[in-house]
Each structure stands twice: as C-alpha cells, then as structure tokens.
Amino acid sequence: MDERVAKETRAENWNKKKSIIVGITGASGIIYGIKFVEKLVEMNYKVYVIVSEGAKKVAERENEFNILQILSNYTSNIFSEKDIDAPPSSSSFTVTTKGMAIIPCSIKTLAEIANGIASNLISRTAINMIRTRKKLVLVIRETPLGPLELSNALKLSNLGAIILPASPAFYTKPKSIDDIINFIIGKTLDSLGISNSVYKRWTR
C-alpha cells in the first residue's frame, strides 16, 4: 500500500468514527472535562471540544495549567466559544454525532440553553442537540441550587436533556481523587449510551 492510499484509508476510517462533542465551561471541576476527553479518545471516539473563556481562567486558577495545551494532547478539533461559525454551530453537523456533554456545565450555560440563548458556540451547539433530538448531558457543578437553577434544569430535563450533577457516590469506596472523577465520567458515558467500565457499579 503506497503512502497516498494509506493516507486516504486513515482519513476514511477517521470519518467513519462516531463523534462526541464536549463543552467545557467555567465551572469548578475542569478536570472532569479533561479526563472525559481523554477517556473518549482512549475509546477511539472522534472528539470535538469547545472551550469557554471562563474555562481557561478556571483551569489556570484551579489546576495551574493551560487547558488548550492539555487538550491538544488528545485532539486537534478544539474550538473557542467565540467560534460561532465552527462546524458544531450547524444543526446538520449533528447527523453523525452521538451526542454532547457539557462537563462541567456552569449555571450561566444552563440558563442560556434553557432559555434558547445561543450567545456562543457551546450554548448554540447544545440548542442544536435539542432541536435534532440528540443526547445532551449537562454535568452541573454548583451547590446549593436555588429555584432559578432548578427551574432551568427542569425545563431542560423536560426537553430531553440529562441533568447530571457532579455528585460522586461513596459506595464505591474511592481511594483517590481519580476514583471520584471516574465515577462522574462513567456516569456521563452511561448517559450518552456509551458502554464502559470506568467506575465500579452498584452491587448488592
């Protein structure tokens, strides 16, 4: 097989991969998003990541790293929330997309999606998921939750989105922070319909 044919074959195989869109917003818990992307790539998914300006700031403060540099180790498909005309902004893009997870999902992002405000690429893409009846998982990381947040979460739940608070379980007897993170990642994968063994499931 010559180099040109090999290159075309690799491109064809890449295009056949099922894709997942990941939004990372400026809520605490940026590490959830990073580890989620890492796991998807490990599972051979094509991953498109949209990073908010808030996420960049939180990553520097919370984890002391440049989130774009970290993500570039896993995928070249990285967009800023300002890239409003990027491929995920079109509802036709969702045809080959298994779904979207916003992890972590800020309360601002939750509110924008719930009220149809497509102010950036993350909220616009999430609204496309709802339009096309694709899976949308919102991993909210905030506490306590007041009536406004709960109302927006209920509105989105009624529209088919899955509200997945970053609330780790302890029946798994976690021995490290990674164990706690993996529980949320595993639950998010479950919600997207992706079989996994990332976390220890409940057994009697």
Is residue 58 domain-resident? Answer: no
CA angle 83, 73, 17 (to 5 degrees): 75
What CATH number is given to the structural domain containing 88? 3.40.50.1950
Residue 138 lies in a domain: yes
| Rounded Cα distance, 33 and 55, in Å | 10
Q: Quick check: is 26 in a domain?
A: no
Task: From 110, 177, 118, select the one nearest 137 (Cα to Cα).
Answer: 110
Total structural domains within the chain: 1
CA distances from 67 to 13, 28, 31, 77, 91 (A): 28, 13, 10, 14, 27
> Over the stretch 103-160, which tens digit does the pLDDT of each residue have?
999 999 999 999 999 999 999 999 999 999 999 999 999 999 999 999 999 999 999 9
Token pair belonging to 15: 């295009």
User: Over the stretch 83-110, which tens digit does the pLDDT of each residue have?
Assistant: 999 999 998 887 789 999 999 999 999 9
Q: Is 26 annotated as a binding residue?
A: yes
- Residue 141 assigned ligand-binding role: yes
Residue of 11 and 121 predicted with greater confidence: 121
Residue 103 in marked binding region: no
201 is in an annotated binding site: no
The arithmetic mean of pLDDT across residues 47-54, rounded, is 98
Would 178 be classed as within a structural domain? yes
Residue 198 maps to a domain: no
Q: Indicate whether 200 belongs to any domain.
A: no
The reply to whether 20 falls in a domain is no
Residue 105, domain member (yes or no):
yes
Model-level pTM?
A: 0.91
Give the model's pLDDT for residue 1. Answer: 56
Range of the domain at 180: 37-42+67-192
